Structure 1
Amino acid sequence: MANQSLEHGKPSKTHWLITMYAGGGEFCDGYILSIIGVALPLVTGTFSMSGTAAGVLGSASLVGMFFGGLIFGYVTDRIGRQKVYLADIAAFILLSALQFFAADPWQLTVLRFLMGIAIGADFAIAATIASEFAPRKSRGPLLVVMVTMWSLGAATAYVAGWAMLSIGDDAWRWMLASSAVPAALILLLRIGTPESPRWLLSKGRTEEAREVLRKMLGPGADLSDVAADCDSRTRYGDIFRGPYLRRTVFVCVFWACQLLPIYAITTYQPTILHSLGLAEGNASYLGSVIIQVFFVLGSLSGALVVNKGRRRLLLWSFGIAAVPLFLLGILGNPATWLVVVLFAVFGIASFSSQCLQAIYPSELFPTGVRATANGFATGISRIGAAIGTYGAPLLLAHSTRVTMIVGGVIAVLGLVASFALAPETTGMTLAESSSATGQAARRARVAQEVK
């Protein structure tokens, strides 16, 4: 029987299941981080919170993600993908349920902060484990599917939140606690997920890695292309040395520039739509649901172009996303249909490149520090997201139009930074894209294949 290769094979049922289970965590992340957007106005009214206090509550999860990513990405590289993969989802269930019983704003803020730590851990591990199992040609589309689950979770949160508005004064409690339901389902599905063979090889556990690949690919499983990616140590400082420093800066900057306007708009979307005259009262939440659908479609659209060029996708995404934000800021009283169209264009453009938040950190760093890099980028990028979430209500209180213009400026900054720093990794194996030489490694492989 011919040898079967992980990098050069076709995606199997196991590949899809691993991707979907990793994406299940992304679904929970999107749900948890977005349901607060529906619940926050109700929480603010219940506790008579100021705009500053609401901003702190809204950004608490993002601050938690900062610490969760920075700490647990490295922990994942040290102790293994599988352990953290299960523990963070278990934390989702417990913390989601506890929100129902919060009696004061500070209790809710602490719980949201702790949930953020668990989400930061999941961001680091989900992209890492999905990318380490994915074949070279299918890695981009598979990770698009995984990341799209975040947008689907966010859209579901708005649907669920809108449906629960009629419960009454305690509606926000049911909204926030409802994230325990998808988390419990995903935990059950993730049980039994194998450990990454790349991580096992990096720790010298060759026979265990071979056994995982045999179960996936058959008795002729070939370890050679996987082993080429695993000759690296797990040291936090390595992501700041040599060519990896430039890659770390790039990933953190582009990710932060993507998230700042997205989180600000997603978290306060009903408020923004109401201020733009799109809808009154509860109908503004329905408007948010409609716009979230475009966000999901935008995320899925990344599958059409991600293998045509990672760098090209990122540049076009930033450039197009800036236009509707500037128009929303410049136009005086835009018609309802125009508001919807502009938000739809922003959503499709911005979310089309969301997959790169998982792809670039996974492809640019070797196995020994892949989760560390994913976690660090997750944590640092949340600074931008937290600024957007905390600052949005303050800016919105001043002017919705100014808020939109600031978002457009951030998109332009992301475009400039990406033009200067973004590498091209399309078509490379993980060993090639994560090596210090990158393109040279790919040229050597191509030359060898020609011979």
Structure 2
Amino acid sequence: MTDLSTPGASLSATPEKVRPDHETPLNRFHLRITALTFGANFSDGYALGSIGIVLTVLAPTMGLSTLWEGILGSSMLVGVLVGSVVCGWLADRFGRRRVFQLDFIVIAVASAAQFFVDGPVWLLVLRLLIGIGVGADYALGPTLVTEFVPTRYRGGLLGSLTVMWTVGYVASFFVGTWLVNLSPDSWRWMLASGAIPALIVLVLRIGTPESPRWLIEKGRLEEARHISNKYLDGALDIEKIAASTVSAEPARYRDLFSRKILKNTVFGIFFYNCQVIPYFAIFTFLPVILPKLGMDEDGFASGVMLNLFLLAGGIVGLWAIAKIGRRPLTIYSFVIMAVTLAIVAFGTSWPLPVVVLAFAIFTFVMSAASNLAQVYPAELYPTRMRAAGVGLLNGASRIGSAAGTFILPVTLSSFGVTASMLGLVGVLVIGAISAVLLAPETSRLSTEELG
């Protein structure tokens, strides 16, 4: 097998036969590149879940106002916005591999440094840095999986990234519930513990190759051929992909709003925002919301149940993406979530078992449908602007989710749980309408046909 590290190695070795994309089997590297991308999703879910638990202790300890609670709860989402938009553009211009390897240095260092904070300002700065690192990875991870994995496996492997977000979130719930009452400073350990998975990911990513499709876009065909031969069993038809390449010039951000791409960009912004605003707002402040709905005094028993439904929904969602398709799953899920959350909103007027069941169904469907958040964005754009497009949609979604997470504790305090939940129902209705009008079906398109 050709190896670039061997002096005099030939870069032009070609396989005997290039398989059509639909015949390309899944190999160990496809699973490896997907597994290496799990890191950002786990870290994001863990960090977001941990801050919700930590704030229940930190708010009275530091005398935080509801304004500061909202700022700290949404701070990481703002960082994700910056990291996604900036690093997505950098990845399209300078390559995927470098950013993919370096962003977890920021996440690991900033996570560990949270142990030493003594006030909300420094915690805010560190949460922003963690968000920037996660945002960079959100732009790069789905892009790399899309550009390495065969079409028929793409949806399932991309969807699995969101399952890892759910695993991270659920892990934070149980770890936080155990740690938070051990000592007055246990919240420090809770926040700093996010450095452990970040360091593991950082080490495992050493040696990750560049995307061969990006190299083809840049005219570096021999390097792309080497990577295809070494990691993909020579499955890429380098000459055919090169012949279909529109331009080797870097895409500009305004190209994401060109006539050909505009519909996909508009749909992506509506779809992503309408999914993550209710998700992040509700599950960041779940320990606060559950007692207000009367489920139990401290929200623990209901929290355990809902977290289990989150995990179950994420796993079932992988099957749904493959069997139902992107467009119908998007439409049906928005409708079901809007109806069930409306029932939850009037929780004090319904028998408690009805409210619990409705919240469980909402949680299950939300988790299943959220797998699409890693699938759709990467499938809406061609290779030359994929990382920038994914970064734009991730960034735009974080504006909405940060606003929702910032506003929710204020609305809960000022208007109550019913009005707050109904506002989120309105967001889901907008999502359903935009999906009916704009959602494409991308499940059967090859990577070269996307966008």
TM-score scaled by length of structure 1:
0.92
> Quick check: 1:396 aligned with 2:412?
yes
**Conserved 8 A contact 2:293-2:347:** no
Residues 1:245 and 2:262 are matched in the alignment: yes
> What's the CA shift string for 1:316-374, capped at 9, x where partnerless?
11011111110011242545543432222112212222222222221121111100000
**3-state SS of paired residue (2:26):** coil
Residues of 2 paired with 1:344 and 1:376: CA distance?
32
Counterpart mapping for 1:98-247 below 5 A: 98-218=113-233, 222-224=237-239, 226-227=241-242, 230-232=245-247, 233-234=249-250, 235-247=252-264
Structure 2 residue 310 is the aligned partner of structure 1 residue 295: yes
In the TM superposition, 1:87-106 aligns within 5 A as: 87-106=102-121
Aligned residue for 2:116, secondary structure, equals coil
- Tell me, in whole angstroms, the C-alpha distance in 1 between the residues paired with 2:180 and 2:350: 28
Equivalent residue in structure 1 for 2:280, among 263, 269, 272: 263
- Structure 2: stretches of 5+ with no match in the other structure: 1-15
Q: Which residue of 1 aligns with 2:438?
A: 421
Structure-1 residue corresponding to 2:341: 325
Aligned-pair distance for 1:294?
Answer: 1.2
SS at match of 1:11: coil
Where does residue 390 of structure 2 map in the other structure? 374
Q: Return the letter of the residue paired with 2:111.
A: S
1:352 aligns with 2:368: yes
Take 1:227 and 1:265, find their aligned partners in 2: how far apart are those partners?
46
Match of 1:277 among 294, 303, 307: 294
- 3-state SS of 1:369 partner: helix
SS of structure 2 residue aligned to 1:426: coil
Contact 2:21 2:235 (C-alpha < 8 Å) held by counterparts: no
1:290 shift after superposition: 2.8
Could you say if the C-alpha distance between residues 260 and 217 of structure 1 is closer, same or farther in structure 2, counting changes exceeding 3 Å? closer
| Cα pair distance change 1:367/1:342, threshold 3 Å | same
Partner of 2:5: none
**Aligned pair partner of 1:362 in 375, 378, 395:** 378
Distance 1:292 1:391 in 2: 23
SS in 1 for 2:436: helix
Q: In structure 1, which of residues 290, 297, 313 is the aligned counterpart of residue 329 of structure 2?
A: 313
Provide the rounded CA distance (Å) in 1 between the counterparts of 2:84 and 2:233. Answer: 35
Aligned counterpart, 1:48: 63
Does the 8 Å contact 1:326/1:405 carry over to 2? Answer: yes
RMSD: 1.7
Q: Which runs of 5+ in 1 are unaligned?
A: 435-451
Aligned partner letter, 1:128:
T
Distance 1:403 1:221, change over 3 A: closer
Aligned-partner residue type, residue 420 of structure 1: L
Partner of 2:181, secondary structure, is helix
Q: What is the TM-score with the length of structure 2 in the denominator?
A: 0.92
Q: Which runs of 4+ in 1 moved over 6 A?
A: none
Q: Return the letter of the residue paired with 2:279.
A: I
Please tell me the residue identity of whatever aligns with 1:176. L
- The structure-2 alpha-carbon separation of the partners of 1:75 and 1:313, relative to structure 1 and needing over 3 Å to count, comes to same
Residue 86 (structure 1) aligns with: 101
Structure 2 equivalent of residue 446 of structure 1: none
Aligned pairs, how many? 432
Stretch of structure 1 that moved more, 7-16 or 145-154: 7-16
Question: Residue 280 of structure 1: CA displacement?
Answer: 2.3
1:233-286 Cα shifts (integer Å, max 9, x gaps): 3222210111212211110111001111101111000111111122223xx245
Q: Percent identity?
A: 38
Residue identity in the other structure for 2:101:
L
